[in-house]
Amino acid sequence: MKVFGICNLHDAPHLGKLTEKRTIGTVSFLGRYGLMDFPLSNFSNSGIDRVGILVDSSLHSVISHVRDGSIWINNTKTGNQRIFYNENVPSSKFNTDINNLLANRQNFENEKADYVVVAPAFFVMSIDFKPYLDQHIASGKEISLIYKHVDNADEEFINCDIIDIKDSVVDKFAINLGKNKEADVSLEVFIFNFKTFVELVKKSREISTLFNIRDLVRHIANNQMYQINAFAFDGLVIPILTFQNFVKYSIDLLSYDIRKQLFKEDWPIYTTTHNTPPTMYGEQAEVRNSFVANGSIIKGTVINSVISRDVIIEEGAVVKDCILYSGTKVGKNASVQFVVTDKNVKIKEIINVSGEKDEFIYISVGAHI
């Protein structure tokens, strides 16, 4: 059984300023990961070592992050990770994952695979694709999707696809408008027979040149073109659909009880390594309930926060309930709370910057305050 994995960065939500100059996949998460590290690691741990990354924008940020892709490839002799990017898009409306595949048709269709697994970067989870592939093959059907039954659909997963299921098959799709607490939410993880997927990608243009893979699957189900298996996932799913989601779940994962559901002993999450020294802590440093990445210098106080690489917290500074991206410097005796800083932000000495618990302040790249 040969499987081709697709990490799909198209059709993703916008996280405000965080995705203004970077694609969803390279948004830094928990101080050291990119969001795309989770689907790529899921492919790797599931034994899928031929992977295509469909890039919608900010190609340079993806290349910088994944490098040669070897971090996620177990067998470098037969494995391969390639980036697919459509350079000839007439307008943003046509910048879809399907048009990306068609623009790279020769490379994509030459994959000698039996099955395709498509996964997005904005649903953060640790999932083994192997049992779902086994179920898909045993069913004899051409298409399957993985969903999550949730009891907070009225608060989370807004505008995601929800499905009605009959006899383990998708009956129809709808958009989650938050009317009900419980719902079966499509995780936009799709399994296709490879030949069927290639044919559908080609034929999709006969339906609409604006279609993406999500539209295509919805159209197939609602028009009963194929029966689509619905397989349930019972693990933790973290939806990164808004800036508020990003902040909330970054802080929530400081809790070990939540974190252990995502980071499992037998399921490593791989990421790009940086040749930086361990974090240095000063004599007066105090750090509690925080993620601190390597390469930082902590001389002040850090509480309930996520600290990325190469962050400097000077003497007397207090950082509480914050997310600080790499290169941030908090000066002596400064105080920051409920703040997200992008890269290379400098906060001067003896200054107070504070947002609200439900409304974090975002400070843009390179800002000096």
Rounded Cα–Cα distance for residues 94 and 205 (Å): 11
Q: Phi and psi of 298, rounded to 5°?
A: -115, 110
What confidence tens digit (pLDDT) does each residue in 234-265 have?
A: 999 999 999 999 999 999 999 999 999 999 99
Rounded to an integer, the average pLDDT of 102-113 is: 90
What confidence tens digit (pLDDT) does each residue in 263-318 have?
A: 999 999 999 877 889 999 999 999 999 999 999 999 999 999 999 999 999 999 99
**Single pTM value for the model:** 0.95
**pLDDT score at 76:** 64
The CATH topology of domain 280-363 is UDP N-Acetylglucosamine Acyltransferase; domain 1 (2.160.10)
**pLDDT score at 68:** 83
Residue 280's alpha-carbon distances to 203, 253, 254, 295, in angstroms, are 57, 23, 21, 7
Q: Has residue 136 got a pLDDT over 80?
A: yes
110 CB neighbour count, 10 Å cutoff: 8
- Positive/negative CA dihedral, 156, 157, 162, 165: negative
Rounded to an integer, the average pLDDT of 335-350 is: 96
Rounded to an integer, the average pLDDT of 356-366 is: 96
Q: Above pLDDT 70, what percent of the chain?
A: 99
What confidence tens digit (pLDDT) does each residue in 166-194 have?
A: 999 999 999 999 999 999 999 999 999 99
Rounded Cα–Cα distance for residues 319 and 299 (Å): 11
The CATH topology of domain 3-262 is Spore Coat Polysaccharide Biosynthesis Protein SpsA; Chain A (3.90.550)
- CATH 2.160.10.10, the chain: domain bounds: 280-363
**pLDDT score at 67:** 85
Q: Phi and psi of 137, rounded to 5°?
A: -65, -45
**pLDDT score at 93:** 83
Q: How confident is the model at residue 214 (pLDDT cuts 50, 70, 90)?
A: very high
Angular region, 30: left φ>0, alpha ψ -120 to 50, beta rest? left
| Extended beta strands in 203-295, E state | 228-232, 238-239, 280-281, 286-288, 291-292
What confidence tens digit (pLDDT) does each residue in 13-40 have?
A: 999 999 998 999 999 999 999 999 999 9
- CATH 3.90.550.10, the chain: domain bounds: 3-262
Of 199 and 1, which is predicted with more confidence? Answer: 199
CB 271 within 8 A of CB 28: no
What confidence tens digit (pLDDT) does each residue in 63-103 have?
A: 999 988 888 987 766 788 999 999 888 778 899 999 999 99
